[in-house]
């Protein structure tokens, strides 16, 4: 797990195991109220974070109330934690994908992924 809790770019990356045993990583970005930390076990019944409220958005001068949800096929990029983000160990490939081929290499389509792998259970 990787946790970045530094304002509008707050992010959680969680590693999961598919029924096949293969790993997959889910990414939640632009979030607040993070309730997990590195080393925690997560469950679909336990919230890991929430959307930012209007006060938080205003504090960060952030006008876009949205969340990024990504499902990575490839292990996230390793990052060296810094003082500002001591629990951030991974980063995504979102700023490195310039073509459809790049996206298909690094990411699952999140809707198709959920429909075929997790919502059927």
DSSP per-residue letters across the chain: -EEE-SSTT-EEEEEEE-TTS-EEEEEEESEE-----TT----TTS---EEPPHHHHHHTT------EEEEESSPPEE---BTTBTT--EE-SGGG--SHHHHHHHEE-HHHHIIIIITT-
Domain of 36 in residue numbering reads as 2-118
CA atoms lying within 13 Å on the CB side of residue 10 = 23
Give the pLDDT mean for 23-32: 95
Number of domains in the chain: 1
Pairing of strands 90-91, 31-32: unpaired
4/81 Cα distance (integer angstroms)? 10
Higher pLDDT, residue 110 or 121: 110
- pLDDT of amino acid 18: 87
Q: What is the pLDDT of residue 62?
A: 81
Which pLDDT belongs to residue 25? Answer: 97
Q: How far apart are CA 78 and CA 85, in angstroms?
A: 14
Q: What is the pLDDT of residues 28-85, one digit of tens each?
A: 999 999 999 999 999 888 999 999 888 988 888 888 788 899 999 999 999 999 999 9
- What's the pTM value of the predicted model, to 2 decimals? 0.90
Indicate whether 120 pLDDT > 60. no
pLDDT given at position 82: 96
- pLDDT of residue 121 exceeding 70, the answer is no
């Amino acid at each position: 797990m990787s946790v970045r809790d530094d304002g509008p770019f707050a992010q959680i990356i969680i590693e999961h195991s598919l029924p096949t045993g293969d790993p997959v990583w889910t990414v939640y970005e632009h979030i607040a109220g993070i309730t997990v930390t590195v080393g925690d076990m997560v469950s679909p019944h336990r919230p890991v974070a929430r959307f930012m409220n209007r006060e938080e958005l205003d504090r960060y001068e952030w006008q876009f109330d949205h969340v990024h949800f990504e499902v990575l096929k490839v292990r996230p990029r390793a990052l060296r934690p810094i003082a500002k983000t001591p629990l951030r160990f991974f980063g995504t490939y979102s700023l490195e994908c310039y073509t459809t081929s790049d996206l298909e290499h690094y990411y699952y389509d999140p809707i198709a992924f959920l429909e075929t792998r997790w919502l059927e259970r």
